[in-house]
A and B are shown apart, each in its own frame.
Chain A
Amino acid sequence: MPKSILIDPKKIRKPGVLKFKDIQLNQYKSDFKKEVKKHGKEKLKQVLIDMLLIREFETALNRIKREGAYLGIEYNHKGPAHLSIGQEAAAVGQALMLDKEDFIFGSHRSHGEILAKSFSAIAKTKDDKLLEIMKNYMNGTVLNIVEKSDNQKNTKDLAYDFIIYGVMAEIFAKVTGFHKGLGGSMHVFFAPFGSMPNNAIVGGSADIATGAALYKRINKKPGIVISNIGDGASACGPTWEALALASMDQYRTLWGEENNGAPPIIFNYFNNFYGMGGQTLGETMGFGMLARIGAGVNEDQLHAERVDGYNPLAVADAIERKKKILEKGKGPVLLDTITYRYSGHSPSDASSYRTKEEMELWEKNDAIIEYSNYLIKNKLITKAQLEEYKDEVQEKIKDNFIKAIDMDLSPREDFNSEYISTVMFSNQKVEKMEDRKPDVLIPLKENPRVKSLAKKERYAFDKNGKQFSKNKLFVLRDALFEALIHRAYIDPTMVLYGEENRDWGGAFAVYRGLTESLPYHRLFNSPIAEGAIVGSGVGYALSGGRSVVELMYSDFLGRAGDEVFNQMAKWQAMSAGILKMPLVLRISTGNKYGAQHSQDWSAMVAHIPGLKVMFPATPYDAKGMMNLALSMTDPVVFFESQKLYDVGEMFEEDGVPRDYYEIEEGEPVIRRKGKDITIVTIGATLYVALDAANVLKEKYNIETEVIDARFINPLNYDLIIESLKKTGKIVLTSDTVERGSFLNTMAAQISQLAFDELDGPPVVVGARNWITPGAELEDMFFPQQEWIIDAIHERLLPLTGHQVTTNQTIGELLYKNKRGV
């Protein structure tokens, strides 16, 4: 909502015609002389060799999957193999014009792209640099193995072996693979050569690649980014969201000249006409030509065109032209690179959805045969040379295959190994992701909100114990702001974006004041595209920047499900720690807005391995925990209850410190001391529990210990168990619906950890297993103090003279479960 751009009814309402430009299809014309001039003879030969290598690599996998042996060497590969036999020209042609700094992100069918991109990078990298990269990668583990053969002609040849072996060992889940076997066939990549994560979720790379392009754009890094996805991914919501995010007008209209326009990204669809078994041409999609998609996205029609992916030089030509467009900031670009796979979707695919004739037609047009003939016709190579190449290629693949399957040379991680535990999180503290001056608009102390907060009361009560008025208080949203702006002035890579983040200041005014300090490229409004918001945050973080993205309501988590559950959570471990994920995902949990705006879905993210989950309930914790989250290299889902944005600090008598501090990770805190019963809370129910504790003391002389868990994962149970040892009784409460709530996980853990301390079962008081009703009816849905007291009375400690007002009995619990409500 920039005020600088006027929406003028006069213009908007004017009649007229919207015209589209022509979209070019397969316009490349071969010209051998020109091609030799551009690429050089050796390069043209190398294109053929690289294609042959990929073909042989995939053939080896195909043989062992289908026949259990390759060249008579038996091997049983348990994992997947989504092969790209037939698509080699597209991969090699694309890589030909890319540099090491250019990133490609791929799909489940990306072995060829990884190899091609790496081969291309090897050709363009000096030998000493190559050796340095190989020596540094996993402390030289892979290099040590491939060096043993001693049959490489030179360093570049050695680097070829390094790549072929590293990818193959990774596919076979070997500890010597590029990610120690934790990524596997569909996730292997090699970042030093610009081959970035390949994604097993269809279309998964589109928004991640957009994030990487944003990283390059915002931090002025060299190179472009290509999202290589299939035509099957052209329907996926997040790929459309990525197109929207990458083509926002604001890059040109608001970000300023010095920032080079749009993020440099090519959305390349390797269009092999099938999404698994569904035919995108004529069956499952309606575009006819995939390139048509570009026409609807922006005025440039995404510079879309169809490229003949069966001619490597046609693809190289397209990439070269499009790269220039991106470098001018005029992206993004869409390419419809047509190709065809002979192998099925996977070895289990019997190709029942296509005819033999069709497959034979394509095999007759096989890119490798065509390109070989082209080189032979133009006397660059002879037939005999071609056969020599084929023999050499087979020897190379065979040699690396033997090494990769050798259990002594290439062992697997031991089954008892806890290695994966060590890479689930990077657990590093990084002051700034890059050492340079952050782009800011004004000095921190001149920020209007910083100035206004200086006058606020940082402890909620005056000397007489009377609470200050809300307007005078430093509240939870201010605490978050302080932590965020602190880090924004230290880490130049830190960006914040999401819906209504700029100008409006975020729907709950946490960012109010940031607009004055941060330029557009560090704080901006995104399209309403939750998948791409989180997905691009993932791409930004794994590229090396710190991103803070926001889902306005927890309820919108479903819209970003894959990005949170499969991408944000998984990449650190799937890369065996090669990637870091300094990403903070802020999510507010709502109320008052009914069933689709009032849910607390912390249990869902708690369920997903690989995420750190925090939920502060006081200003002191909000600042200290946000500081902590912004200092780490791990993905953090940071929950904020809308009920609490305007609470002052009621516990730390010295108030919320003005200086920087962090809360110790995973440590709950006692907010009221007691000896008779323990109540553990997550989120806003802290205050409900304190009210209940007051009643328990006044009416029943029961002294309640109230503990705010603050953290969901990781979580240290020590303090809770210590309290339980004292009291023997424990109630857990939060605003999450009871069924599947993280409280039930806690209750189960507590029962295990301290069974003998229990004087009754851990009692969970959650929200009802209902939709959230309207604001006026909410008290029937969210836990109330009466629920807590009645639950104590019915399940833990009958209270003398207590009259229940709600039904918290075991019988009711059973009945509710039986009815599923």
Chain B
Amino acid sequence: MATAILMPVQGNTVESCLLLEWKKKKGDKVSKGDIICEVETDKAVFEVEAPEDGILLDMFFEEGDDIPVLTNIAVIGNEGEDYEDLRPTSESASEEVEQVEKEVEEKKEETKEPEIKEINITDSSKSRESVGVSPRAKRLAEQKGIDLSNATGSGPMGRIIERDIQNVINSSEPLTPAAKETMTSGDSIPTEGSGIGGRITSRDILLSSKKILKENVIKEEPIKGIRKIISDRMLESLQNSAQLTLNSSADASALLTLRETFKNGTLDSSFGKVNINDLIMYAVIKVLPNHPIINSLMLGNKIQYYENIHLGFAVDTPRGLMVPTIKNAQNYSLINFSNELKRLANACRENKIQVEELSGGTFTVTNLGSFGIDNFTPVINLPQTAILGVSRINLKPIQTDSEIKFVPHVGLSLTINHQVIDGVAGAKFLQDLAIAIKEINLLIAI
């Protein structure tokens, strides 16, 4: 009997994978374990193996196709065998996506870490469901260059109707004569003007013009692969959460001393590789259990609190930003923790990272200190609710009783999803973290 090769499920949140390359041709004899093809998820490239021996009877997709997980992508069997019932239909493919989503949901339920508690968020902010835009309103908006998102639907069931567009037109600022001259057909009028009294100037028109000045372009490349995934994820993150960044710093004196001690190998040479970043992340692990809201996921209208810490950290790779995860980070000793960080980072850079090592994080740390950044606003990796950015160590003037001393401080930027975490909760976490870093010796001694 012919056997289908499935697009495997790569991590809980993966819905589909991109087929990179077929490693076998139709009609090839394959053995169990042979690499059939390479596929890419939003996080990694991985290989799909032959589930058994046989002839590769057919491949159902082409390189470059985006294929829902659990879809049959190829079929192995004996020569001449009928396998038509294994060919995915476009319907079953989409059903499968839904199916997977369901299973994922179910799995989440099953493998849920022992939760501290679960609370429901009441959905008070749910916006009125709009039924759309009338054809007439749509056409008027196009003609007048009105952005439909600026119109409030006053029609039945919130439909945007002609008068709503008329309202926008009436309230929007007029064009300067020069702007009118600059307008060509196809240009839309910007909704806000930079001129006096909000008047729309010719510059506003030019800036919003759909026409791109082609002559200055030196290179053009499509946004695809990991870049595309990053692009989508970042935008999605910012669009679907209420992010707020709190900046602070921690006294890094002890940190620097400890690092120096490790480097000198006075105690144990194996500590030589433990760096500042490792220590800060270690401190994060120690502080997080006291701030369960920071170590949480927001899933739909639920917050899931986690006892275990799956700590994600950002790694810069030639293919772009990747975020491997140390699972159950609270169980690691400092030295093991440091080693695991290095292993994962290298795996990312060498493109050997396993898909499961790229998912499932409950909190993330990102460090731009080595690039001389003082502070920044990290973007949350949804559905996580917070991310810590670590900046460079600077000398900070500190007033003591008698004098002003310059004390090295490491910059800390915590972005929280204000939907779930309030400013004070985030500040308290940062405060505790700063103390932990300051007292790092004590922390690793505990």
Contact = CB atoms under 8 A, between A and B. Distances in A.
Contacts of A728: 134, 136, 161-162
Q: Tell me whether chain B's interface is mostly helix, strand or loop, or mixed.
A: helix
A756 B136 contact: yes
Nearest to B159: A760
Contacts of B137: 759
B156 A757 contact: no
B136 A794 contact: no
Contacts of B154: 798
A566 B174 CA distance: 64
Contacts of B138: 756
A755 B134 CA distance: 9
A794 B161 CA distance: 13
B161 A759 contact: yes
A758 interface: yes
Contacts of A794: 156
B134 A759 contact: yes
Given A728-B162, A797-B161, A758 B134 contact: yes
A437 B163 CA distance: 64
A795 interface: yes
A760 B156 contact: yes
B139 A760 contact: no
A795 B139 CA distance: 20
B128 to A, nearest CB: 13
A760 B163 CA distance: 12
Interface in A773-804: 794-798
A755 B135 contact: yes
A769 B156 CA distance: 24
Contacts of B156: 760, 794-796, 798, 810
B155 interface: yes
Interface in B138-190: 138-139, 154-157, 159, 161-163
Given A795-B156, A796-B156, A810-B156, A756 B161 contact: no
Contacts of A756: 135-136, 138-139
Contacts of A795: 156
A797 B160 CA distance: 10
B131 to A, nearest CB: 9
B64 to A, nearest CB: 37
Interface in A746-771: 755-760
Contacts of A759: 134-137, 155, 161-162
A814 to B, nearest CB: 13
Interface size on B, as a range, is 10 to 19
A499 to B, nearest CB: 48
Contacts, number: 38
A796 B136 CA distance: 12
A797 B136 CA distance: 13
A183 to B, nearest CB: 45
Contact of B135 (A757, A796, A810): A757
Interface string B304-336: 000000000000000000000000000000000
Nearest to A755: B135
Contacts of B139: 756
B248 to A, nearest CB: 50
A757 B138 CA distance: 10
Nearest to B162: A759
Contacts of B161: 728, 759-760, 797
Interface string B19-53: 00000000000000000000000000000000000
Nearest to B139: A756
B140 to A, nearest CB: 9
Contacts of B136: 728, 756-759
Given A728-B162, A797-B161, A758 B135 contact: yes
A728 B140 CA distance: 11
Nearest to B157: A810
A578 to B, nearest CB: 47
A728 B136 CA distance: 7
A724 to B, nearest CB: 9
B236 to A, nearest CB: 33
A721 B299 CA distance: 50
Contacts of A755: 135
- Residue among A728, A756, A810 having the largest count of chain B Cβ atoms under 10 Å: A728
Interface in A295-324: none
B137 to A, nearest CB: 6
A743 to B, nearest CB: 19
A758 B139 CA distance: 10
Given A728-B162, A759-B162, A760-B161, A798 B155 contact: yes
Contacts of B159: 760
Interface string B112-147: 000000000000000000000011111100000000
A722 to B, nearest CB: 15
B401 to A, nearest CB: 69
Interface string B417-443: 000000000000000000000000000
A246 B376 CA distance: 102
B79 to A, nearest CB: 47
B172 to A, nearest CB: 20
A689 B350 CA distance: 77
A759 B139 CA distance: 10
- Residue among A755, A797, A810 having the largest count of chain B Cβ atoms under 10 Å: A797
B231 to A, nearest CB: 35
B167 to A, nearest CB: 13
Interface in A684-741: 728
Nearest to A761: B134
A454 B398 CA distance: 111
A225 to B, nearest CB: 58
A114 to B, nearest CB: 56
A757 B161 CA distance: 11
A731 to B, nearest CB: 13
B148 to A, nearest CB: 14
Contacts of A798: 154-156
B157 to A, nearest CB: 8
A73 B225 CA distance: 71
Contacts of B135: 755-759
A794 B159 CA distance: 11
Nearest to B158: A798
Interface string A350-373: 000000000000000000000000
Contacts of A757: 135-136
A678 to B, nearest CB: 13
Nearest to B160: A759
A796 B163 CA distance: 11
B196 to A, nearest CB: 35
A810 B156 CA distance: 9
Nearest to B164: A759
Nearest to A757: B136
- Residue among A756, A759, A760 having the largest count of chain B Cβ atoms under 10 Å: A759
Contacts of A797: 155, 161, 163
B130 to A, nearest CB: 14
A759 B156 CA distance: 11
A697 B367 CA distance: 67
Contacts of A796: 155-156
A410 B33 CA distance: 73
Interface in B372-402: none
Contacts of A760: 134, 155-156, 159, 161
A795 B156 CA distance: 6
Contacts of A810: 156-157
B28 to A, nearest CB: 52
Contacts of B157: 810
Nearest to A728: B136
Nearest 6 A-B pairs (CB), nearest first? A759-B136, A728-B136, A759-B162, A759-B134, A756-B135, A759-B161
15 contacts: A728-B134, A756-B136, A756-B138, A756-B139, A757-B135, A758-B135, A758-B136, A759-B134, A759-B136, A759-B137, A759-B161, A794-B156, A795-B156, A797-B161, A810-B156
Given A759-B134, A795-B156, 11 more contacts: A728-B134, A728-B161, A755-B135, A756-B138, A759-B135, A759-B161, A760-B161, A796-B155, A797-B161, A798-B154, A798-B155
